A and B are shown apart, each in its own frame.
Chain A
Amino acid sequence: MAVEPLLEVENLNVEYVLTDYKVNAVRNVSFYMNKGECIALVGESGSGKSTVAMAVMGLLPPYAKISAKKIIFDGKDILNADEKLMTEIRGKDVTVIFQDPISYLNPIISVGEQIFEALMAHNPKITSKEAQVQAIDLLRKVRIADPERVLRMYPFQLSGGMAQRVFIAMAISANPKLLIADEPTTALDLTIQSQILKLLNNLRKEFNLSIILITHDLSLTSYLADRIYVMYNGQVVEEDSVEGIFSNPIHPYTKMLILSSQAIYRGEVKRLREKISTITEKGGNSETIKGCDFIRKCNNCGPECEKEPPLIECDGLKKVRCWRL
């Protein structure tokens, strides 16, 4: 299959302007993805990974100031798009699923009606009979065993895993090109997490769906993602293929992430301390730090780190924001 670009974002900046101060939530983030690809934005809370995705969707609150060189989705410029075009793209071509599906479902409307609503939003002429058939079909696609019964249920009657499946069904109801999965399994149990991950992977293959996976958990990416963007404090600090990130992490933050998740997985947290020497937990905001964002945590700093490092291209797909390669 020929590689076709789907999304291209260049130099995205998002600033939250509050009454007495500003927060640079996202700084100079560039990324791209091809059709059918799954990329992962990985980082801790506050790293700006969700803000990036919401900026692409045009779903940020009014006090967020977005600037970018370009945002191209499927050949359309969506940076300067008017609300009409965005409404068309949102929910149809690009959909989102969130961490906590139950709170995004309306508690007093049955599951069926909420799915019908999603179907009707993009196809106003649909009859209720057709909607019913399509809704059942959608629930089958997300591997819900008895769709007729689930249609009549209310969100509080669903388990977390079921609610996420219903949510995914609504998200794929308009055959989107891009699915943004924002921490899709964080609230779920282990066995349900692996079911949902598998479901996403199957949908991806079946419908040639492209996925942006937003997560703080690197171990999810090794199953689902093709490429990873590691974010720290609003910037991309390292990008590479999944294999490249795991086998050859270069940025100290990426190294820390991988060491931590592997130590937890293997049950070797005790020995982790020797491997990473972190000085303090994250403190202060970005304005107070000069130069590299990681300067206060890094134990391999040099005088050049006082200046902000650019994203430096390395072998293959790898790019790293660090002076000391």
Chain B
Amino acid sequence: MRQTIFSISGLKKYYLVKTGLFRKAYIKAVDGVNFLIREGETYCIVGESGSGKTTVTKILLGLEQPTEGKIEFLGKDLNKILSNNSSAKEFRKNVQAVFQDPYSSLNPRKTVKYILEKPFKVHNSAIDEKTVERLLEEVGLTPAKEFLHRYVHQLSGGQRQRVCIARALALKPKVVILDEPTAALDVTIKAQILNLLIELKEKYNLTYVIISHELPLLKSIADRVSVMYAGKVVEEGPAERIFNNPKHPYTLGLLESIPPPDPKSAKSKTLPTLEGEPPSPVNPPKGCRFHPRCPSRFDLCDKLEPKDIEVAQEHHVSCHLFDNR
């Protein structure tokens, strides 16, 4: 059995909002989710905006405190790790992040060389130009010498994202958390960045946690997928089962609404759609949160919250359709 990197149970994150002078409400961004992320796997969290997937990333990175729930990193409580300076530093070294918009996550006033040297300086590691050049070559920015003294505005979107990936890999982390890593890029560049990520993962036995709303992209890279809807996980399982044999009506609808790049396919003429919009996170629907949009809802759905049901090995669905009792 592979080592467990992150173990998250009963995670909740509520944000307080004031709706009136004395009235308060909570945005239930994440409302009771469990994840188990193992060494060397690519774990993907999929969902639409507002489903809570980015909140999960922030909590995993230790940037937000959860309202409730337990998070363990390599068997140790994350709160304890972060409360101690030296262990917190070690954690940050091991858990790196790449964000959606490479332009705003790179300092526009610094050169590529400075940006890539920074992690080494922070962690007091030895650094020379050779190391930085090797990093650039690693992410396909060759000849490296040409890129060393460039500023961020002199790079294309794809090149910027490569610099972000290089920076994340600089200290040889165990885990890289990628929040929408290709959302801001063109199609051909998306494919290239995806390819790079696959290569690097195999080379360094990295663990990826990828957060994305672009379901088709994940087909090429995911090992396990978790589908989130309105703060809850509705389906979780091996990627191959989620893509080829999805059970939850939401996963089904999500996969169906991907337009195929082929005018001959029947789907491209009809384009099945899931009607409606995700619910308000302040006041989610009773029962199953997906029931107002669900094409196969029945009388139980708006009354009872569905339980987590294992439909196959490691494949969990929370939907009344699969509850036999």
Q: CA A216 – CA B191 in complex, angstroms?
A: 13
B186 to chain A: which residues have CB within 8 Å?
Answer: 44-45, 216
Q: Are A222 and B277 in contact (CB under 8 A)?
A: no
Interface residue? A160 (CB, 8 A): yes
Query: Which of A161, A216, A265, A269 sits near B277, CB closer than 8 Å?
Result: A161
Q: Are A261 and B261 in contact (CB under 8 A)?
A: yes
Query: Which of B158, B243, B271 sits near A281, CB closer than 8 Å?
Result: B158
Query: Which of A44, A45, A243 sits near B264, CB closer than 8 Å?
Result: A243
B259 to chain A: which residues have CB within 8 Å?
Answer: 193-194, 197, 219-220, 222-223
Q: CA A218 – CA B159 in complex, angstroms?
A: 22
Given contacts A223-B269, A242-B263, A262-B262, A191 and B253 within 8 Å (CB-CB): yes
Query: Which of A192, A198, A222, A270 sits near B262, CB closer than 8 Å?
Result: A222
Shortest CB-to-CB span from A189 to chain B, Å, is 4
Q: CA A223 – CA B268 in complex, angstroms?
A: 5
Q: CA A281 – CA B162 in complex, angstroms?
A: 11
Main secondary structure on chain B at its contact with chain A?
loop
Which residue on A lies nearest to B267, using beta carbons?
A: A223
Which residue on A lies nearest to B46, using beta carbons?
A: A190
Interface residue? A136 (CB, 8 A): no
How large, as a class, is the contact surface on chain B? 35 or more
Which of B37-45, B118-126, B213-221 is near enough to bind chain A? Answer: B213-221
Which of B128-136, B192-200, B300-308 is near enough to bind chain A? Answer: B192-200
Q: Are A190 and B213 in contact (CB under 8 A)?
A: yes
Given contacts A44-B186, A44-B188, A45-B157, A219 and B195 within 8 Å (CB-CB): no
Q: Are B191 and A189 in contact (CB under 8 A)?
A: no
Interface residue? A97 (CB, 8 A): no
8 Å CB interface, A208-233 against B: 216-220, 222-223
Query: Which of B265, B274, B275, B277 sits near A162, CB closer than 8 Å?
Result: B277
Q: Mark B212-231, 1 if CB is under 8 A from A, else 0.
A: 01111101110000000000
A305 to chain B: which residues have CB within 8 Å?
Answer: none
B187 to chain A: which residues have CB within 8 Å?
Answer: 44, 216-218, 257, 260-261, 264
B159 to chain A: which residues have CB within 8 Å?
Answer: 281
Shortest CB-to-CB span from A201 to chain B, Å, is 8
Q: CA A193 – CA B159 in complex, angstroms?
A: 28
8 Å CB interface, A13-37 against B: none
Interface residue? A89 (CB, 8 A): no
